[in-house]
Each structure stands twice: as C-alpha cells, then as structure tokens.
Amino acid sequence: MKRAPLTTIPEAELASALAKTNDRAAALAALGRLPKADLHCHALLNCPLSSYESVLGYKLPAPPPRFRDFGEFGGYLATNLLPATRTLAGMRALLRGGLERMAGEGVVYTEASIDLLMPLHINVPPQAVVDVIAEERDRVADRLVFAPEIGINRRVDPDKLWSNFQAYLDSGIFRAVDLYDDERAGDLREFRRFFLSAEEQGLLLKAHAGETCGPDKIRETLDILGVDVLQHGIAAVQDRTLLDLLAKQGTQLNVGVASNIALGVAGGYENHPIHALLAAGVTVALGTDDFTVFGIGLCEELWLLRRAGMSVAELAKLRNGPPRQLLPLLAVNEPACTWSRTRPI
C-alpha cells in the first residue's frame, strides 16, 4: 500500500527543543521526545557498531570520519560488518539493535530495507528471513511502526535476485522497494520488471540516485523506474530545470546528510545541498542511512543542521514526522500540533 503523506515537526516544538542550541545533550534529549520518521535507512546497518561486535565476539575498527570514495566504504562493510550477517541469529540481533536504537531516539515510523541477498547469504529459504522480519516488526509495534522495504543491490545479476524478490512480494509484509549500492553499476532497464511488479502490489517505489552520480542519473531513474521517492538525489542542485521538475511533481528526496559528508559528496552541514533543495521548494525528508558506519541519528542531524545555520522555519519544512494516518494514535492535536505521545502506536 502507498504511504500516507508525512507530516512535519511543528516549528514551535522544534524551536523549544533547540532553544539551547549550544547545549548538545539538552537539545538531543528534547528532540528525542518528538515523534519522528526515519525514511532512509538500511535495516541491518542501523544499529550501533557494538551490536556487530556483540554478534562477532570481537572489537571492530572504527569507521573513518570520511571515506576516500564509495569503494573504500564498501570495503569497510565487506571486511568488518558482512561476517556478522551470515546467520539468522546474527541478522535478528542486528535488526533488533537498529529498531531499538531508533525507538530510543523517538522514531515512531521507519521504512528500512532488507537486502534480497540475505537468503542467499545465509543459505536459507526466503521465508526464513521474512519470518525474522515479521517477528521483529511485531515485537516493537507498540513503540515503532516498521515498514520493511525490499532492498535490491544493483551490482548483483537481476536474474539471481528474481525468485527471492517474488517470495518477498508474496509474503505481503513489505511496503516499499529500493534499488541501491554504487550508482555507476548495473543497467536500470534490467531492474524495471522489479519496479513494475512492486507497483502492481501497491508498494512505494524508491531508488538511490544523485548521490555519487550527477543529475543525469536522477533523470534516468525517474524515466526508467518511475520512482515515487529518490534516496539522496542531492545532485539535483546542479540542474535548475531538474530542481523545478522535482518541486513541481512533489518528488520526495530522502536525504542522509551525515552519509553524504562521510562519503565525500558534500563538504559539511553548512554547505550541504539540502539548503538549496529546500530553497527550491523540493520535498525533503531525513534519514540516517547507515547509522552503524556514520553514527549520526535523526536528533543529532537536526541539531547539527541548526548549528550550521539552518533556521527553525527551514527545519520545520523537512518531512520528519510520522505519516498522517498515525497522528490519532500519537495524540497529536491538529492544528495546534501538541506533540504529546500518550498512547502507543
């Protein structure tokens, strides 16, 4: 089913939470009390690094503050983190660690991807992976609405993924589909059948584009895959016509600021393209992307953006609140917008 429109965090509530901008601890605690939505994250890479260390039984090297390129980033994942995902028990622990971390910082709704490679990686039927996802989704349902995404790695032969994709679709637990990994890899046309099938099932269509590649990759992704949402999409600021198109169509960009900085596609919070995207009227949502590696949650993203000069009014434009359909369960009183979470979801 398609996702209901996301809300924003009311400006007054953000202003109150960020009143003491120089007091990091107080600001993060106040922001943590506001219901939020994480729209761009990879479920097994959204837990603390300590969750991986617990599964593996040894200490891991800390990720560098900045990677030289996407290849170095992928190398860190493959060498240090991938071994922890080789069993269902490891997968469950990592998934649980991410969901608990999000719930702990006031995230009440998340769209998080599970890679189609997991059944092949663990050497189990797709249903075994689906069962773990469903069980962990249900376990946190009173605190966090977890809408799983089907994650498609564009560097893998689509034929190798197709049967798992059909099994994931047939399970009925997934709410979105996302194509990711290195944008320079793969032919988008070969993945069109995945998106057509997902669309027929009413899933939200997402794809990574415009992070490490330019605006042409964004246009290609929109034209071939017909996505509802772009993950990142920050290269759109290089093309005014494309910016205007995204704003006019209401195409949402789920941006991971910390991710972009760590991967070297943005210089810092002060000059990140998110400022230009908002100024152009583009719909922007926040996401943590890979918290395990980048270590920045939604509360800290908001705080760092404010510290970098983004006004509270601009922060309030971000689609960082839960879907409108959840508001009654959160006791949100519109239009007064008193964000008092008095009932579980």
Q: Which pLDDT score, from 0 to 100, does residue 337 have?
A: 36
Q: Which pLDDT score, from 0 to 100, does residue 99 have?
A: 98
Asked whether residue 344 is assigned to any structural domain, the reply reads no
Asked whether residue 6 is assigned to any structural domain, the reply reads no
Q: Which pLDDT score, from 0 to 100, does residue 330 have?
A: 60
Q: Which pLDDT score, from 0 to 100, does residue 283 have?
A: 95
Asked whether residue 5 is assigned to any structural domain, the reply reads no
Asked whether residue 33 is assigned to any structural domain, the reply reads yes
Q: Which pLDDT score, from 0 to 100, does residue 4 have?
A: 57
CB atoms within 10 A of CB 59: 9
Asked whether residue 90 is assigned to any structural domain, the reply reads yes
d(CA 123, CA 27): 44
Q: Provide the H-helix boundaries in the chain.
A: 11-17, 24-32, 49-56, 70-76, 88-104, 118-122, 126-139, 158-171, 192-200, 215-225, 240-249, 257-262, 274-279, 291-294, 298-307, 312-315
Domain count, the chain: 1
Percent of the chain residues past pLDDT 90, beyond the cut: 87
Q: Which pLDDT score, from 0 to 100, does residue 172 have?
A: 95
Q: Which pLDDT score, from 0 to 100, does residue 329 have?
A: 61
d(CA 41, CA 65): 19
For residue 48, give the CATH number of its domain: 3.20.20.140
Looking at the whole model, is its pTM more than 0.85? yes
Report the chain (345 residues): mean pLDDT per 10 consecutive residues. Answer: 71 94 93 95 97 98 94 95 97 98 95 96 97 97 94 95 97 95 92 97 95 96 96 97 96 96 95 97 96 97 96 95 71 39 34
pLDDT digits (tens, 9 = 90+) for 253-309: 999 999 999 999 999 999 999 999 999 999 999 999 999 999 999 999 999 999 999
Q: What is the DSSP string of 33-97?
A: TS-EEEEEEEGGGSS-HHHHHHHHTS--PPPPSS-SSHHHHHHHIIIIIGGGGSSHHHHHHHHHH
Residue with tokens 């837990």: 47
Yes or no: say if 211 and 180 are a contact pair by the CB < 8 Å rule.
Answer: no
Asked whether residue 2 is assigned to any structural domain, the reply reads no
Asked whether residue 319 is assigned to any structural domain, the reply reads yes
Q: Which pLDDT score, from 0 to 100, does residue 336 have?
A: 33
Q: Which pLDDT score, from 0 to 100, does residue 1 have?
A: 42
Domain carrying residue 186 = 11-339
Asked whether residue 4 is assigned to any structural domain, the reply reads no
